[in-house]
Amino acid sequence: MNDAADTELQKRGIDVIRALGMDGPRAANSGHQGTAMSLAPLAHVLYTRCMNYDSADPTWADRDRLILSNGHASILLYSMLYLTGHGLELDDLRQFRQWDSATPGHPEVGHTAGVEVTTGPLGQGLANGVGMAIAERNLRARFGAEITDHYTYVIAGDGCLSEGISHEAASLAGHQGLGRLIVFYDDNHITIDGETELALGDDAAARFASYGWDVNDLGEAAEDLDAMESAINRAKGIDDKPSIIILRSHIGFPSPDHTDSHEAHGLAFDDESIARTKEVMGIPNEPFWVPDAVLALYREAGARGSNARSDWTARLAAHQGSDTTNDRAAWDAAWSGQPLAGWQDLLPSYDPGSKVATRKASQAALTALAPVTPGAIGGSADLTGNTGTLLPDMGVQSAGDPAGRQIYFGVREHAMGAVMVGLAHHGGMLPFGGTFLVFSDYMRPAVRLAGLSNAKCIFVWTHDSVGVGEDGPTHQPVEHVMSLRAIPGVRVIRPADGTETAGAWKLALESDGPSALILSRQDLPVLENSSVDGVSQGAYVVSGPADAVVALVGTGSEVSLCVEAASKLAADGISARVVSMPCWETFSEQPFELQDDVLPPGLPTVSVEAGVTLGWGEHADLAVGIDRFGASAPGSVAMSELGMTVDNVIDAVSELLRAVDG
């Protein structure tokens, strides 16, 4: 094919991408076509000239990753996945945003082949990209460039850069010197409300330069394929810092009606507007029109990486590694999200009657398991010692030590959560991250997306109740555990003692998706019958006879309170069963027979938890909890004054039994 013909075919391909970007939202009567149209040339360059991928194997470990952080432009991504042969068909585009379709309103990883992360909440994808870039660098340093050698690309818009998470993530990426991270800033000057100047006056180039990024402002180059390709190749040659390429695009281009209009952000293109735009492009006014030559162009591009993938597969098969930390068994364990064989034997054990804060027991478990868990990587948001998230002798992740597995996230909880999700979805990484439970609020969007996308992360949240003490109500979580339980797909585990903490790590490692460890600041007694295996079933009987007249069900620090209360009740002739319920979600997954065996139907039940009582009606007839904010006082005083006492539990039992007796 001569150059003129090739140029014309590429132009026609971009026209088709733009047309599909209008046709999908029009068919759905919902969607965002303007950005998909203006970024069609960039998508063309990435998929046909720059990215290393094989559409026949969208999960190939050494592929380049592309994240659409401004996920509302999902029709752009779906159009490219169809054209390049990732498995989508035109009928999938026709079903854009419909029930049970492969083309949901925002990209969902695991739902559509070729989608790397679940995006939509703006800025999250940018932070996910930071996690993916850390993962690539760490695996390359540990296992060698012959099996890990790729780039992470992120497309972001004004909304992504406006959200605060973008500051945290970009600051961390710059400090880390993530040279394989390349971000495209779609500077189209348009938001839903109107021009960005209504609310935004930032100098993005200066901002990212201050973070330590390489900044390349291409100006009016969003239609210049060669300029974009050259900028990408330049960025790929920069090893010591992440890159941002700024494109001044024109939303809705080349629509004669809606170019540079904020109406183009959402559904502004009716049949007439679409027809007029297709006339400008010189293509038929036919929905979902894709000529054979255009499809062949993109299918060829989609298959171009097959040889590279085959070569990689051969290199992986031959990979031996220099020692057991980077051999094939370690690689396989890392990519499975599991430790090496025999890890259960390394779980710490504790003598009944001893005392240990569960945050310290968690550190002991992490210290024991990390050396045999090749994917383990993480740290905390400036609270490493406080939260028990230290990886001893494993190096600090940085440009100087890219093999290091300890990440110092800094005071960046928002970014930490989203970076963890990116690490998990990259593969080969089992991320953990810690902060105080009360600051899980800062992480909630990322935690929700972890649940939605089944990202295997371990969130470590400590200082789990008003037992935090003197810091007062700003730092004393009361609603947080129940709030986290409300997120579908997140396994919330609040262990009662050191033994259950070992069980919590076992459950998290053996489970798919995200887990949250809710841990105490204060020392807790190790219970006589606490059980690692009991945690694995979500709830179990700690003490009490089979013919008990009442059940006390607790979590975390309140289980020992229940044991004390049961002992006093027994002295008064009232037999009580004590049930530890470290994980609601896991208990709900058990057979009904097991659930009924632990909490027999009809047995009067009192729940005890140092937090809001909302939700406990599912398991208990009466709830002892804290339905108010805490107060500044020593932890034991705060717990006592707010009703977390043996006497208060006994009073609740008496009240319930009186009501039952009528």
Give domain 538-661's CATH architecture: 3-Layer(aba) Sandwich (3.40)
- pLDDT tens digits, 420-454: 999 999 999 999 999 999 999 999 999 999 999 99
Query: 60 and 53 in contact (C-beta within 8 Å)?
Result: yes
Per DSSP, the three-state class of 179 is coil
Q: Please state the φ and ψ torsions of residue 231, each to the nearest 5 degrees.
A: -65, -40
Report the pLDDT value the prediction gives residue 266, as an integer from 0 to 100.
85
Radius of gyration of the chain (CA): 28
Q: What percent of the chain has pLDDT over 70?
A: 100
| 157 vs 264: CA distance, rounded Å | 14
Across the beta sheet with 605-608, the strand order is 540-543, 576-580, 550-554, 605-608, 622-624
What is the average per-residue pLDDT within 272-281?
98
pLDDT band, residue 203 (cuts 50/70/90): very high
Q: Which helix (H) or strand (E) holds 563?
A: helix 558-571
Tokens (6 digits) for 651: 């009073």
| 58 vs 155: CA distance, rounded Å | 19
Q: Which residues pair with 622 in a beta bridge?
A: 606
What is the average per-residue pLDDT within 265-279?
93
| 620 vs 509: CA distance, rounded Å | 29
Q: Exposure pattern of 205-231 as b/e (b: 16+ CB <10 Å)? A: bebbeebbbbbbbbeebbbbbebbeeb
Tokens (6 digits) for 384: 């490493």
Confidence check: pLDDT of 271 > 90:
yes
What is the average per-residue pLDDT within 553-573?
98
Report the pLDDT value the prediction gives residue 5, as an integer from 0 to 100.
84
- In words, the CATH class of domain 3-308 is alpha beta
Dihedral class, residue 332 (left if φ above 0, else alpha if ψ from -120 to 50, else beta): alpha
Confidence check: pLDDT of 267 > 90:
no
Q: Please state the φ and ψ torsions of residue 65, each to the nearest 5 degrees.
A: -105, 140
Give DSSP secondary structure letters for 341-386. Answer: TTGGGGS----TT-EEEHHHHHHHHHHHHGGG-TTEEEEESS-HHH
pTM: 0.98
Q: What percent of the chain has pLDDT over 90?
A: 98
Tokens (6 digits) for 374: 């090749």
Report the pLDDT value the prediction gives residue 2, as an integer from 0 to 100.
56
Report the pLDDT value the prediction gives residue 268, as an integer from 0 to 100.
75
Specify the residue for token string 């998290």.
508
Report the pLDDT value the prediction gives residue 566, as an integer from 0 to 100.
98
Query: 621 and 656 in contact (C-beta within 8 Å)?
Result: yes
413 is an active site residue = yes
Number of H helices, E strands in the chain: 26, 18
Closest CA to 552 of 521, 537, 535, 574: 574
- pLDDT tens digits, 603-645: 999 999 999 999 999 999 999 999 999 999 999 999 999 999 9
| 328 vs 381: CA distance, rounded Å | 32
Decide: residue 651, CB within 10 A, 0-12 exposed, 13-18 middle, 19+ buried. Answer: middle
Give DSSP secondary structure letters for 445-456. Answer: HHHHHHHHHT--
Report the pLDDT value the prediction gives residue 1, as an integer from 0 to 100.
44
Average pLDDT, the chain: 97
Report the pLDDT value the prediction gives residue 4, as an integer from 0 to 100.
83
> Are both 3-308 and 538-661 of the same fold?
yes
Confidence check: pLDDT of 662 > 90:
no
- pLDDT tens digits, 462-507: 999 999 999 999 999 999 999 999 999 999 999 999 999 999 999 9
pLDDT band, residue 259 (cuts 50/70/90): very high
| 576 vs 427: CA distance, rounded Å | 47
- Residue spans of the domains in the chain: they are 3-308, 343-525, 538-661
Q: Please state the φ and ψ torsions of residue 541, each to the nearest 5 degrees.
A: -85, 125
Rounded (10°) angle between helices 558-571 and 646-661: 60
3.10.20.600, 3.40.50.970, 3.90.950.10, 3.40.980.10: CATH of 343-525: 3.40.50.970
Give DSSP secondary structure letters for 495-508. Answer: -SSHHHHHHHHHHH
Q: Which helix (H) or strand (E) holds 491?
A: strand 491-493
Catalytic one among 168, 413, 558, 585? 413
Q: Which helix (H) or strand (E) holds 165?
A: helix 164-176
